[in-house]
Structure 1
């Protein structure tokens, strides 16, 4: 049974413990039994509206034992993160509870003056004027912080608009991507996991594959879905697929229900899958063209995106010229590469993409070598037996496929 397999249980609140203030079946008895077995319990909620103290009072009012240090809300985790970031003043789109948590860490909450960060949470009383103020502060240099980006949260009559709807409005108008604290992002999980013995067996129990399950899996912990319906995704490798499913918490003690094993994932979970191109360019002496990007301190082949309306050939020709100043034409295809182990890229902005890359061998037909592209730190030709040691692993594989002419057209 699941209850015997884990030492620590992380429970979501909305949809797992209660819905709309009504306790779900089996919750009270299950939590009491887990405590009798000396299991450690934490409540992880993306709800940024109440304070931790208010969550404790709500749970105790429902007959659930709860302690302040067991509550990890996205509001409190955001306040803690702000202090770690040494931010001292913020403008808040959110509730009085969120503001109270932030002030509890000694951080000033401003209404009109400039500040170091804008924090977006959730509040039914938000207006257009609040959003306009947030955007203007971000344009003047304030950091953009979001408690969470849940599109909805469960209500007694169905889904309700979540914090993500407000975050999207600010992000669209400011053109800035926020630092996100709540599930499925790491900061909220780390507030618990960083203080636990790494040998403890930890499981997350949630009702949302996109926050609870995905977030737990990104941290390498088992994820249990509380749902009346099975969920599935096309790929069996999808991080949002739970390791076990229960319809109510009592089933944590059902002998027949077990969880598949889950370990630390070998790559970050990508937000998007995007097409890309890569160029293998030799000079007249058989040397290979490599570049070092500003945002990644490693050498690699010229690579880039495919813009709307472009063919892959047009894209690779444009990217090589923009990054190196050389004009090329495509002489042959090498292959299409998609291995997420190598092609999931975490950008400095926080965006994580899985690039499906068409690799092509190109011939120089003009131009001159330069490195004045804003994204290119260095550009040079290298002898094949004297390549830089900090060469991207997959790019080395592409070069081997180029040199092994029989492999032209491989799919990886």
Structure 2
């Protein structure tokens, strides 16, 4: 049975342990049985409008044994993170619970809008936030305050329907500042790391939740298996989608059924991308069969000229434009070398934290007569290299691209 396969169980709350003011069927007795088996239990919630003590008390009133030390709220985990980063002052867009958690870590909650007075802007939830508060937060972020959020949840379910949550406020501030926040709550790793730090060394843990996009994705990103509580079969189109649960149960009672099977989760060697983008890359060789490479300004690595497909462009148009912008050269497309989408080599994390997977269309190009090399804004340097003497600081996927270009196979590669 699943209960015997793990030392520690991480539980989401709403939809797994209770709904509203009532525990879900079999939740109380299942948690009691896990304690009898001497399992470690942790309760993880993205709710920033509570404290660990209040969460444990709420569970106790439902007949569930729970202790403050077993609760990880997004507000508490956020305050812990601020403390580890040495932040002493913060402008907090949250209720009294989040402010209290910050103050317990020695952080001054400063509501002044003085420029540069706050080291961080912390976004939780407060239904009384005003436009003036948002303007203060945006200005503080603009002038260098660290931008941190308890979670990225865009909505919260009420009986009447979904209403805005923390993520809705984040999108407003991201749009107005051009900055992305550090997010602590699920599915981001900080929440899980905080919970794991409270366990005995070498504990084997599993996450149990009801949301594939937060509980399952978050657990898988940090390498933990994940069980989904649902009455429906949940499956995403790709078998390697991080949101696919390793087991689906209808109630916690199934943790003790011999027939409940969980697949082994092995974390792939790539980060989970937020989006998939279209890209182009092009190789040009001179009459000595040397390849043209640029040293990119964004990461300082050498690589084949490459870039994005912009709205309204064909891939050919994008390739011609990117080559011109990066090298000053006017080129023609000679042939298609291949299409590349392997996430191990094609998933990139940008300095702002965004992770995108590219589908890159790769061409062989020729330089138009009279065109001259001219370094663009995205290039630190441009040079020709012998394929056998490539620079050591070459983008990791580009040796394979070069190998494919030199292979005169007629049909395009699909990788």
The TM-score normalised by the length of structure 1 is 0.95
Structure 2 counterpart of 1:54: 54
Structure 1 counterpart of 2:400: 397
Using a 3 Å threshold, how does the CA distance of structure 1 residues 142 and 248 change in structure 2: closer, same or farther? Answer: same
The Cα of 1:135 is off from its aligned counterpart by 1.6
Q: Deviations over 1:113-136 (max 9, x none)?
A: 331111111122222222222122
Indicate if the aligned counterparts of 1:94 and 1:122 stay in contact, CA closer than 8 A. Answer: yes
Structure 2 counterpart of 1:410: 413
The Cα of 1:80 is off from its aligned counterpart by 1.1
In the aligned structure 2, how far is the partner of 1:26 from the partner of 1:331? 66
In the aligned structure 2, how far is the partner of 1:184 from the partner of 1:133? 28
Give the alignment of 1:32-51 within 5 angstroms.
32-51=32-51
> Structure 2: which 5+ runs fail to align?
none
Q: Please state if 1:368 is matched with 2:368.
A: no
Structure 2 counterpart of 1:170: 173
Indicate if the aligned counterparts of 1:90 and 1:110 stay in contact, CA closer than 8 A. Answer: yes
Residue from 134, 152, 159 that aligns with 1:149? 152
Indicate if the aligned counterparts of 2:40 and 2:199 stay in contact, CA closer than 8 A. Answer: no
What SS class does the counterpart of residue 86 from structure 1 fall into?
coil
In the aligned structure 2, how far is the partner of 1:154 from the partner of 1:34? 29
Give the alignment of 1:56-135 within 5 angstroms.
56-112=56-112, 113=114, 114-135=117-138
What SS class does the counterpart of residue 282 from structure 2 fall into?
strand
Structure 2 counterpart of 1:220: 223
Q: Deviations over 1:41-81 (max 9, x none)?
A: 11111111111121122122222221222111111111111
Using a 3 Å threshold, how does the CA distance of structure 1 residues 52 and 378 change in structure 2: closer, same or farther? Answer: farther
The Cα of 1:407 is off from its aligned counterpart by 4.8
Indicate if the aligned counterparts of 1:77 and 1:191 stay in contact, CA closer than 8 A. Answer: yes
The Cα of 1:372 is off from its aligned counterpart by 4.9
The Cα of 1:12 is off from its aligned counterpart by 0.6
Structure 1 counterpart of 2:255: 252
Indicate if the aligned counterparts of 1:203 and 1:223 stay in contact, CA closer than 8 A. Answer: yes
The Cα of 1:26 is off from its aligned counterpart by 1.2
Structure 2 counterpart of 1:307: 310
Indicate if the aligned counterparts of 1:303 and 1:319 stay in contact, CA closer than 8 A. Answer: yes
Q: Please state if 1:342 is matched with 2:345.
A: yes
The TM-score normalised by the length of structure 2 is 0.94
The Cα of 1:175 is off from its aligned counterpart by 2.1
Indicate if the aligned counterparts of 2:179 and 2:352 stay in contact, CA closer than 8 A. Answer: no
Structure 1 counterpart of 2:326: 323
> RMSD value over aligned CA atoms?
1.7
Give the alignment of 1:174-323 within 5 angstroms.
174-194=177-197, 196=199, 199-323=202-326
Aligned residues: 411
